[in-house]
Every structure is written in C-alpha cells, then in structure tokens.
Amino acid sequence: MDAHAQGNSPPRRINWRGIITKWLKIIAKWWGAIAILSVGAILIVVLAALVLFKQVVIKPLDPEFRLQSATVSLFNTSAAEFTATWDVKFIAVNPNHKLNISYNSMRAAMFYKTNNSDGNGVLLATKPVPPPSSLSPKAETTRSFRVETASAYVGEDVAKEISEGIARGSVSFVLRLLGSFKFSSYWTDPRKFEASCHRVEFGFSPGNSTGALTLGQSRVCGTDLGSGKFCLFD
C-alpha cells in the first residue's frame, strides 16, 4: 500500500521564483564590477578609434620652415668680443591638408660652431621674435626679424676664426627658431618645436663688413619637436 502510494505521488515542482531571486542577488552583487569593466572596454574602443582616425584620416603634419634670405653686419671681431646684427627672412609653411596651425611663441637664436666643434656651438645672440600668424591648410607666410649682439664675449679662438673667415670671404653661422604651436580645431596640447638651419654661409666681399647668404643657401630648416635641449623658451 505504501509502495503503491509512493509510486503515484505527484512530481516535485521546480522553485523558479527562488532560482530567479538567487541569480538576481548574484547579479546585484557583481553589478558594480561588471559596469566598471564595461565602461573601461567602451573607453578603450573609443580611444583606439580616435587614434586610428588621427593617424589614418587626419594625418597631422609638423610645420615647416624655410630660410629665404639673411644678412649679417659684423662691427667688431677683435680680441675676444663680438658685435653683430643679423637680418633674417624666413617662410613658415603649413603642410597639412585639413588642419590649421597656430603659433603661441617663437624665439630666434644664432650660434657659431668652431671648425673642430662637435657640440652645439657658441650662443651669440637670442631674442623673442613675432611668431607667424595662424596658417590655414597648405598656406605659407613670410616673416622677418633682427637679432643683435653687442660686445659679447666669445673667446679668442672663436673671434679669431670669425675674423679669418671674413678675410677668406665667408663665415657660417647656425640659426635656430624655437617656439610652440598647436593644431587648431583639434584635440591636442601645444607642442614645442626647434627648426635648425645648420652652417648658414654668409659671403663677404673684400673690405666689406656686411655679408649675405651665398648662392643656393636658401633652404629648408630641419624641425625637431619637443626637444627643448637648448632651454631658450620663455
């Protein structure tokens, strides 16, 4: 009798409400971690898409500089002192197809490298100069400035080399333009740059203390971003 009753007992019902309640508690417990991981994954995807957009679609290009013309007037190269004035004209170019470039500041510096020097050379003069105006894509502008130095101590060896160069008819200096710029309408912080024109040769005629760029010296100046190695920024 008992066996017959046991065989005819109704099947055990599944407690769906309890199962659902249990899983809801588990989800609620780990919801914070799941949300953080989801947000992190979304941010990674967005940043990767922005980097890809920047490199493939926008392709930001660094500004370019070309030395157009320059003269130097040497008033004193005797003993160990040096007095001179440089008048420089250069061209600033925005090579980008889609981005504007705006300049925040600029400084010009003139150096002299001795014949056996492997370093940066002797700093002769430096001063802030007006930066180029904001440049639209593929635009360029011409700027001029003057840099002077008066009775600067350069040492007997440097003064002698410069005097001998004038007597031979040519002296070379190094021009550097330092400053900062940013891409307008583009999410980026200002970037420092240094445009260097190495071994800019000035030709002198006999008995004349004013020299001009020798033939073929108008050229592109190499640009190095973020170097800051001369610490000449304002």
How far apart (Å, rounded) are the C-alpha atoms in residues 87 and 74?
A: 12
The pTM is what? Answer: 0.70
Q: What pLDDT, on the 0 to 100 scale, is given for residue 114? A: 80
In the block, residue with structure tokens 């160990």: 80
Residue pair 168/150 in contact (Cβ under 8 Å)? The answer is: no
How far apart (Å, rounded) are the C-alpha atoms in residues 200 and 121?
A: 13
Q: What is the pLDDT of residues 25-61, one digit of tens each?
A: 776 666 666 667 777 777 777 776 665 656 555 678 8
How far apart (Å, rounded) are the C-alpha atoms in residues 40 and 48?
A: 12
Average pLDDT over residues 202-216: 87
Residue pair 126/108 in contact (Cβ under 8 Å)? The answer is: yes
Model confidence at 117, in pLDDT bands (50, 70, 90)? low
